[in-house]
Amino acid sequence: MSKQNEVDVIESGRSVEPWIAVLFASLVPLVVAVLLPEAWRMPLYVVGGVLCALGVGLLIRQESRR
């Protein structure tokens, strides 16, 4: 994507960076884990951690391409 296209997308407000979406999605299992019984917490923590690591990986990949 060219710099002008990036500016157009940012100014239009229609796009969310994929890594931000994944990081926000990683919060969902963590919040749900607080509300569910203890038996469900560890698997949800693992899912949240994996999504968080995936989001950071996407950020690193995006920044390494610039």
Residue 65: the pLDDT is: 84
Exposure string of 4-38, with b = 16+ CB inside 10 Å and e = fewer, is eeeeeeeeeeeeeeebeebbeebeebbeebeeeee
Residue 5: the pLDDT is: 56
Residue 34: the pLDDT is: 93
At 3-55, the pLDDT tens digits run 655 555 555 666 788 999 999 999 999 999 999 999 999 999 999 999 999 99
Q: Is there a domain that residue 11 lies in? A: no
Q: Is there a domain that residue 5 lies in? A: no
Q: Whole-model pTM?
A: 0.73
Residue 16: the pLDDT is: 80
If one counts the domains in the chain, the total is 1
Q: Is there a domain that residue 7 lies in? A: no
Q: Give the residue from 32, 59, 57, 35 showing the smallest Cα distance to 46.
A: 32
